[in-house]
Amino acid sequence: KKKRSDFSKAEMSSSYVGSLDQGTTSTRFIIYDKQARPVGSHQVEFKQYYPEAGVRNCIAKAVEKAKEDGHDVENGLKAIGKLEKELSGGRTFVETCGLPISTYFSAVKLLWLLENVETVKKAVENGDALFGTIDSWLIWNLTGGVNGGVHVTDVSNASRTMLMNLKTLEWDKPTLETWESNLGFCQRLLVTLRLLGTSQMDGYPGVPISGCLGDQHAAMLGQACRKGEAKSTYGTGAFILLNTGEEIIHSKNGLLSTLAYKLGPNSTANYALEGSIAIAGAAVQWLRDSLGVISSASEIEALAKSVETTGGVYFVPAFNGLFAPWWRDDARGVCIGITRFTTKAHIARAVLESMCFQVRDVLESMHKDAGEKGETKNEKGEFLLRVDGGAAVNDLLMQIQVWLIHLFHSFFTIFIEYFWTHSNFPE
């Protein structure tokens, strides 16, 4: 990690690109040189809030304030669940936005705020409210905030709100009317790569902010996934995307239809099928922080490797429900098969296997939706799955992933790119 004072005069006179990676559990900033080599980075983790079992508080401060003001938080959350059940099985907006109704997406959170937090309701009525995803909040602050900050987002992040039309790549007016929302406080939609504004930060004024891309869309673009190619990101959660080219495929098997990327005003949009898994690396953090089984996340590989199997232990990390392809908010975590023989090593290995089982389920759904024609294979007939994310450095995890896919699904002869170059491929 370099400080500003660590750079030489020659380095200071060169051009660099800064990348801000805003994740679920941390903020990371990386500086790259002209050859795309990282020359400096810094990462800060921040506290997670879990006010009650099964509810992940993505808007912790808003909910806490609502409780203090005497608002009925519990009934508000129950109302969301009722909404999901009443509106055609929760798939009312799939044709327009590609997403099922879920508390995972912005529109449902926005509806709850409008109905339960009086300060938010009044701010909207007075024209003093702005709605956006985390990227728009960051850009707004970086470009001046209350002193003329730019309120924008890109189409990849907007595709996660349930409010954008996938075909037109604009806010969908009928959907906004259904949610009793309006365009007045939504951010302006822009394509991924273009000048969004300039920084007004102390010490770094005038730095151009030249692009914005949603987390998984960025991973797909960074992995150069073209039509028929897929990637899996193993982070706090796990996210598997298959590029479907210019075609929007509406899943019949529990996946999301989403925008992959649109790189310029005149470029063609690429779409994707996505399977979102709520808990992947977060289960390792749970072993570390809540159970004390390991003292650092990197220890899990050696611990899990110390046993050849899980000893019959199976772990389902449904800490706050299950996402794709099941979409069960009422699901809860479970660990079964425990005997007197079970050790923490068996449980650690079962946690790794749980990530791979979930990815396998998503790949199976993708195969059903896209079919053989929708999957690009190499000259050996292998389907390439590119992998990234913090947990992808775990060779055992990648090995288990290959084994589970081959063992249960003969239609996939899978080739994991990272695994092939970092481990001994099993016979």
The full DSSP string for 111-165 is HHHHHH-HHHHHHHHTT---B--HHHHHHHHHTTTTTT---EEEHHHHTTTT-EE
Q: Hey, do 90-209 and 226-426 end up sharing a CATH topology, with the first three levels equal?
A: yes
Q: For the residues of 4-66, what is the DSSP string, one character each? A: GGGS-HHHHHS--EEEEEE-SSEEEEEEE-TTS-EEEEEEEE------BTTB--TTHHHHHHH
Q: Are 419 and 395 in contact (CB under 8 A)?
A: yes
Please state, rounded to an integer, the average pLDDT across all residues of the chain. 80
Q: Which band of pLDDT confidence, cut at 50, 70 and 90, is reported for residue 55? A: very low
Which contiguous run of DSSP H or E holds residue 422? Answer: helix 417-422
Mean pLDDT of 390-419: 72
Mean pLDDT of 100-122: 83
Give the SS3 label for residue 314.
strand
Amino acid at 43: Q
- Pick from 411, 371, 417, 376: nearest CA to 229: 376
Q: Which two tokens stand for residue 61?
A: 């401060």
b/e sequence 76-97, b meaning 16+ C-beta within 10 Å: bbeebeebbeeeeebebbbebb
Contacts for 367 with CB less than 8 Å, ≥ 6 apart:
375, 409, 411, 412
Query: What are the residue ranges spanned by the domains of the chain?
Result: 15-50, 90-209, 226-426
Backbone φ, ψ for residue 313 (5° rounding): -90, 135
Q: Are 389 and 417 in contact (CB under 8 A)?
A: no
Residue 21: strand pairing partners: 28
**Which of 415 and 176 is assigned the larger pLDDT?**
176
pLDDT reported for residue 2: 53
- Pick from 90, 97, 95: nearest CA to 258: 97
Q: Which band of pLDDT confidence, cut at 50, 70 and 90, is reported for residue 51? A: low
Full-model pTM: 0.75
Q: Which band of pLDDT confidence, cut at 50, 70 and 90, is reported for residue 231? A: very high
- Which class in CATH covers the domain with range 90-209? alpha beta
**Which of 75 and 336 is assigned the larger pLDDT?**
336
CA dihedral 294, 296, 298, 299 (to 10 degrees): -30
Range of weakest confidence among 41-55, 248-262, 263-277:
41-55
Q: Looking at the domain 226-426, which fold is it? A: Nucleotidyltransferase; domain 5 (3.30.420)
Instruction: Give the integer Cα–Cα distance in Å for 421 and 159.
Output: 34
pLDDT reported for residue 181: 65
Q: Which band of pLDDT confidence, cut at 50, 70 and 90, is reported for residue 343? A: very high
Mean pLDDT of 68-73: 55
pLDDT reported for residue 59: 45
- Pick from 19, 39, 38: nearest CA to 28: 19
Count of all residues that appear for the chain in the document: 427
Mean pLDDT of 337-354: 96
